[in-house]
Amino acid sequence: MFARLSPKITFVALTLSTLLFDQLSKLWAAAVLTPWQMTSYFNDLFRIGYTENRGAFLSLGGTMSESMRDLVFIGLVGVFLLGMIIYVFREKQLTKPMASAWALIVSGGASNWLDRVLNDGAVIDFLNVGIGGLRTGVFNIADMFILAGAGILLYSGWQEERAAKQAEK
């Protein structure tokens, strides 16, 4: 779908489409799932249930005062997201893999940021995976986008470094 688009257009298209997808998944979770009750699937490999997270990853910062959480998770995160968008549009050497990675990170962060703005400071989470007692925290699709984007950036950086070393030989 994005094969013939420039890196910056790819960034915009992927950012908007993944942000919309995540927001729709959260609307579904809020409308269909029973709050605070996890349902198990595939021998408890997957659990799905509506929760709200007022903190960051694994609820870090969830016990801060409401004003401090708003400052950090709405104010600072908003500024950080804006900085990433400015970086993407100013970057002269932007490749499609890098544009895609930044789009996933920005869309995931923006979708969770939007949750906080519209949901009294909370992010809607509804997914959990694991085996036995070894489980992830409860997360959402935006979190998966952020991790995928970070993984792509790391892999692209490793590939570039590897190519540069090969060129030196």
Residue 115 predicted with pLDDT over 80: yes
Burial class, 50, CB count within 10 angstroms (exposed 0-12 / middle 13-18 / buried 19+): buried
Residue 132 pLDDT grade (very low, low, confident, very high; cuts 50, 70, 90): confident
The whole-number pLDDT of residue 1 equals: 55
Residue 102 predicted with pLDDT over 70: yes
Q: Show me where the domains of the chain are located.
A: 7-163
Residue 85 predicted with pLDDT over 70: yes
25-39: pLDDT as tens digits: 999 999 999 998 999
Give percent above pLDDT 70 in the chain: 98
- Which of 91-95, 105-109, 126-130 is predicted least confidently? 91-95
The whole-number pLDDT of residue 160 equals: 83
51 contacts: CB under 8 Å, gap ≥ 6: 35, 36, 124, 125, 126, 138
42-67: pLDDT as tens digits: 999 999 999 999 988 777 777 888 88
Residue 169 predicted with pLDDT over 80: no
What is the model's pTM?
A: 0.90
CA distance 48 to 9: 34
**Per-residue tokens: 4:** 């013939």
Residue 75 predicted with pLDDT over 90: yes
More confident residue, 76 or 2: 76
